[in-house]
């Protein structure tokens, strides 16, 4: 039987398995994409925190640490980052758990 005719006559378990494999791969890829996106957001926020916690002297001509630091703004931003990190880590944990549940990893 020709390959094309085989496509036309393919039914049953073979065809169902091919469709299931394709949908499984597509769905797993979508989960993994979401996971990578959340991991990237977490890294970005962690990098922002490192930057904002660097209050060291910027040059050798000054002895003033944290020059022109707006403490109220700094505290509010730090709290905001902490809350964002908490939420993103819960989201990442949830996505990872779902991947494990659905795909046995």
Phi, psi (degrees; rounded to nearest 5) at 95: -65, -45
CA nearest neighbour of 43 among 7, 35, 74: 35
Read off the pTM.
0.78
**51-66, pLDDT tens digit by residue?**
998 877 665 555 555 5
> Under a CB-based contact definition with an 8 Å cutoff, are residues 99 and 31 in contact?
yes
Least confidently predicted of 11-15, 20-24, 65-69: 65-69
pLDDT of residue 47: 97
> Under a CB-based contact definition with an 8 Å cutoff, are residues 82 and 11 in contact?
no
Q: In terms of pLDDT, which residue wins out, 26 or 105?
A: 26
**CA 10 to CA 71: how far, in whole Å?**
69
């Amino acid at each position: 039987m020709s390959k094309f005719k085989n496509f036309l006559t393919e039914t049953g378990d073979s065809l169902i398995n091919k469709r299931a494999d394709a949908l499984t791969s597509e769905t797993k890829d979508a989960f993994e994409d979401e996971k990578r996106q959340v991991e990237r957001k977490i890294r970005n926020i962690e990098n922002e925190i490192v930057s904002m916690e660097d209050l060291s002297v910027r040059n050798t001509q000054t002895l003033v640490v944290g020059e022109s630091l707006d403490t109220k703004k700094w505290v509010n931003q730090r709290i905001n980052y902490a809350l964002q990190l908490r939420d993103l880590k819960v989201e990442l944990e949830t996505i990872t758990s779902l991947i494990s549940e659905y795909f046995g990893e």
